[in-house]
Amino acid sequence: METAATATTAVPKSKRRKASRWTWVSWLKVVVFILGLVPAAAIVGSVVTGKAGPNPIEFITHSTGEMALRLMLLGLLLSPMRWWFKSTVPIRFRRMVGLFAFFYVMLHFLTYAVLDQQLDIDALLDDVLKREYIIAGFVSLLILIPLAVTSTQSMMKRLGKRWVSLHRWVYVAAIAAVLHYIWLAKGDQLEPLIYAAVLALLLGLRIWRHFSRKTKRVKPA
Amino acid sequence: MRDWMKLAGIRSSEITDETVFKQRRQLIQAAAVAGMTGAISAEASATTPKLSMPIKSTDYTVDGELTSEETATTYNNFYELGTDKGDPVKNAGFLKTEPWSVVIDGECDAPGTYTLEDILKPHDIEERVYRLRCVEAWSMVIPWNGFALGDLLKRFKPNSKAKYVAFETVSDQNLPGMRSRVLDWPYREGLRIDEAMHPLSFMAIGMYGNVIPNQNGAPLRLVVPWKYGFKSIKSIVRISFVEDTPPTSWNMSAPHEYGFYSNVNPEVSHPRWSQAKERQLTGSTSGLAALFASKTETAYLNGYADEVASLYADMDLKKYF
């Protein structure tokens, strides 16, 4: 306590803030960052060693898509966690989780466009204009691009209140992503419907909170 | 030892002892839990013995590269054994093919329950290399061992009311994939009688010169090379001669997506994806090289138009897809 107090007075204000940032949360961020890269490394490993099976392009497409969906849902879990634990710590992982989701979405899209379709523009256009599940996936991707671009601290400051309303579009992107999965599945709908149920729960929590807070605010007045 | 293997001239030394097989199964299941199935399940696929009866070679060959046996026996759609491509080989041990019999019924003069030995006895086994085109837009080239379906059907003397032939997959074994109602079990398929009697329609009991592995539809499966793969029904327990178009599983599940005919046709898209191209799975390009292999154009009737196009001469194949 005493040393901390002396340190505070000795160090200039700006530097002090930086130094105090290296808390357990910072270490946790390093861990989460590494964890976020593990699936990508595992996918590369499986392909190189042949464990990905006879259709590695399908394997990469499926596993990157699955990771993207899971990370989008994880990102949407962080706000409810803040309310639940009454702590801002979960929110501090929102950008990283969101950007990792975007990273896997891009890998997913590039695998489809470059490896699977081999940049055949006619085939890509045919897909994007005609096939419902491709349209849904593409809509999700198009929404996520500006969100990723405006995810920096400086963009947050620059956009102010508009940043919040812009980033609400992530709900639409998540719904489109789940629809993409539901519409492409052949036969077995169990997994896509699990994702849909989790998303419905996460969005439902927000709606419930929105209305319960409104009524609370009204009452004292 | 399976009796029909005896009939097929398979020496018992070639067959994995059942206890060893069961132990291996347990090992594989344990490994699956440990998340290291890749290496071991490949070994499991190597357990089928050679068909040691004579196999006649035929003119049924294909220009393209043969799919490796490992690829063809580890990447399968057999939903009764699970919906992932790797599930059927992992769960292959759940399918019991001994004893096996096939019920023949409907519009024919020689109905009855025939043991597998009865079914196989009169037929010479030949090898045919066929293209296999899955509705999911991947394809393989596989050497099948078996006999013409028409030769089998004629033995039961279908009568003039037999306009269609219906087939059914085994369903009384509570196979692991059947717990989920992905499809309305039992799996059912069907052909028009002239399609079934066409010389290209084939009954396989082996592939690559080996007894057909469970995951590929042991002990008896259909191969109809000009139709999407799901028409080639696996592990057949019933063949019925019927007057009207029989219900077929994928058609029942999604009628606007999977027609009764399901002929390979690049001009007719699946409602959700294009059928113009296919990814050929050869198994010879592995690792990173496989990522840059290009797709190939899908041929009308999977390249068998010269042989079978006349079956559909007056039909609108966009309507009868």
Partners of residue A54 in chain B, C-beta under 8 Å: 68, 70-71, 74-75, 281, 283
Residue of B nearest to A55 (CA): B281
Q: Does B73 touch chain A (CB under 8 A)?
A: no
Q: How confident is the model at residue A22 (pLDDT cuts 50, 70, 90)?
A: confident
Whether residue B279 and residue A48 make contact (CB cut-off 8 A), yes or no, is no
* Contacts for B14 with CB less than 8 Å, ≥ 6 apart: B49, B50, B52
Give the per-residue pLDDT at B31.
42
Whether residue B291 and residue A188 make contact (CB cut-off 8 A), yes or no, is no
Residue of B nearest to A126 (CA): B274
**Residue B114 DSSP one-character state:** E
Whether residue B86 and residue A133 make contact (CB cut-off 8 A), yes or no, is no
Give the per-residue pLDDT at A133.
95
Give the C-alpha separation, B189 to A59, whole Å.
29
Q: Does A57 touch chain B (CB under 8 A)?
A: yes
Q: Give the mutation candidate from A60, A116, A134, A188 for the B interface (greatest B CB count, under 10 A).
A: A188
Give the C-alpha separation, B79 to B104, whole Å.
24
Give the per-residue pLDDT at A173.
98
Give the C-alpha separation, A135 to A115, whole Å.
19
Whether residue B291 and residue A187 make contact (CB cut-off 8 A), yes or no, is no
Give the per-residue pLDDT at A189.
85
Whether residue A49 and residue B287 make contact (CB cut-off 8 A), yes or no, is yes
CB-CB neighbours of B40 under 10 Å: 17
Partners of residue A49 in chain B, C-beta under 8 Å: 287
Whether residue A57 and residue B253 make contact (CB cut-off 8 A), yes or no, is no
Average pLDDT of A29-33? 94
Q: Mean pLDDT, consecutive 10-residue segments, chain B of 321 residues?
A: 50 47 46 38 61 92 92 96 95 95 98 97 97 97 98 98 98 92 95 98 98 97 98 98 98 95 95 92 78 92 97 92 94
pLDDT tens-digit map of A37-56: 999 999 999 999 888 989 99
Asked if residue A13 has pLDDT above 70, the reply is no
Instruction: Measure A114 CA to nearest chain B CA, in Å.
Output: 9
pLDDT tens-digit map of A71-104: 999 999 999 999 999 999 999 999 999 999 999 9
Give the per-residue pLDDT at A3.
43
CA B170 to chain centre: 13
Residues 252-271 of chain B with CB under 8 A from chain A are 253
Give the per-residue pLDDT at B93.
95
CB-based burial label for A41 (10 Å; 0-12, 13-18, 19+): exposed
Partners of residue A50 in chain B, C-beta under 8 Å: 286-287
Whether residue B74 and residue A54 make contact (CB cut-off 8 A), yes or no, is yes
CA dihedral A198, A202, A208, A210 (to 10 degrees): -160
Q: Does A59 touch chain B (CB under 8 A)?
A: no
CB B38 within 8 A of CB A51: yes
Write the secondary structure of A121-146 as one string of H (helix), E (strand) and C (coil). Answer: HHHHHHHHHHCHHHHHHHHHHHHHHH
Instruction: Measure B290 CA to nearest chain A CA, in Å.
Output: 7
Whether residue B295 and residue A51 make contact (CB cut-off 8 A), yes or no, is no
* Structure-token match 């196979």, residue found: B175
A23 vs A137 pLDDT, higher one: A137
Give the per-residue pLDDT at A220.
52
Of B74, B273, B291, the CB nearest to A131: B273
Among the four given CATH numbers 3.20.20.70, 3.40.190.10, 3.90.420.10, 2.160.10.10, the one describing domain B53-75+96-312: 3.90.420.10
Nearest to B14 by CA among B55, B43, B45, B49: B49
Question: What is the rounded average pLDDT for all residues in chain A?
Answer: 89
High-pLDDT (> 70) share of chain A, %: 88
Instruction: Measure A52 CA to nearest chain B CA, in Å.
Output: 8
Partners of residue B182 in chain A, C-beta under 8 Å: 187-188
Give the per-residue pLDDT at B294.
87
Whether residue A57 and residue B279 make contact (CB cut-off 8 A), yes or no, is yes
Q: Can you give the pTM of this predicted structure? A: 0.83
Whether residue B279 and residue A53 make contact (CB cut-off 8 A), yes or no, is no
Partners of residue B273 in chain A, C-beta under 8 Å: 127, 131
Domain regions of chain A by residue span: 36-208
CB-CB neighbours of A3 under 10 Å: 7
List phi, psi (to 5°) of B190: -160, 160
* Contacts for A163 with CB less than 8 Å, ≥ 6 apart: A150, A155, A156
Of A47, A123, A131, the CB nearest to B291: A47
Asked if residue A215 has pLDDT above 80, the reply is no
* Contacts for A85 with CB less than 8 Å, ≥ 6 apart: none
